[in-house]
Structure 1
């Protein structure tokens, strides 16, 4: 879309979300600049409860999000080198620093909350918000359908799979990790729950015949799980799974990090446990 067309189109879906939500219609004015409109659209998507939207909404939303995805520096699973190019477990394990919404893999893992509907805080920088915002509102609707059928909140350590919609990956696997009270250390149950997150995601990927999966650092953000311990548990669980499942469809497991500190933790722990 050219700039003029984008400005007109985004107004249409902003107005629809304002209308559907009701409380925003009088409180907000649509900004003039496209960048400001785009932030408003994301914020409205973030706070919108699951509700049926028009085909026109999805047509315009998908056009915008697809163009944004295509403008990113996308990285495929094949572009990321593993720890060891020879045969063996480490020939399937890699780490990569960057935006997980740029990865062209079979599945990326989302660190969800127990509602499993995405983050409702406008423009929040958590991985849950980033993934839902880049995928599109269909992702919240899919999660809503899953959770409605389930009838209760998602237990820690389980995993669910959805389409990735406007993301470059094929699927999103959602898992809920343990939340650690600030200043406390994880207990044995919480350690087991985090291990189960990784194991459940791998089992689900295997069930779907997926070849590549990228893990975010589950529970290490606002859920306060210590980063070094979480890394060691993640690495051990993945290695044990690959060792014990020789016929797995999984050919590459990527540990995705965002900060230099987290990357160094994974690099160190992967080398030490090699």
Structure 2
């Protein structure tokens, strides 16, 4: 949750923490210290967005893939979306933007990740919460074509 520590790394985590400002890294560090262990895959936390053009940041840790994707890893990725959407609903947010969770440095196959993301959001919308809009903010043309 405290971000990427590789200077000039082009991952989404680094971008979010860079543009949000040091306040985001500090609040995440405090959350992790209070929790007493690293954030597990599949859960979510919410923090202020500080210098970003949004009110909040939803933090989630996706599964890291090495080799063939296992059923448990698919379930963890779906849980990332459910956990974030649940927090959004609890905090009365009307819209949420997602990056392609786990598809970059964590090597989740893009097409399968998109399928899981869309299905998770469709299931969530059946609950009829205050969340009205979900945006899939993609980085690669490949992902744009998939979504």
TM-score range, shorter chain: over 0.9
1:125 aligns with 2:6: no
Pairwise CA RMSD: 0.6
* Number of corresponding residues: 147
- Name the counterpart of 1:203: 86
Q: List per-residue Cα deviations over 1:128-176 (Å, max 9, x = no partner).
A: 0000000000000000111111001111100001111111011000000
Q: Give the unaligned 5+ runs of structure 1.
A: 1-115, 267-274
- Name the counterpart of 2:96: 213
Report the TM-score when normalising by structure 1: 0.53
1:161 aligns with 2:46: yes
- Name the counterpart of 1:249: 130
- Name the counterpart of 2:107: 224
Which of the pair is proportionally richer in helix? Answer: 1
State which structure, 1 or 2, has the greater radius of gyration over its C-alpha atoms: 1
Q: Give the unaligned 5+ runs of structure 2.
A: none
Aligned counterparts of 1:217 and 1:259: Cα–Cα separation in 2: 10
Aligned counterparts of 2:104 and 2:146: Cα–Cα separation in 1: 15
Aligned counterparts of 2:102 and 2:146: Cα–Cα separation in 1: 15
Aligned counterparts of 1:258 and 1:232: Cα–Cα separation in 2: 17
Report the TM-score when normalising by structure 2: 0.98
Deviation of 1:212 (Å): 0.5
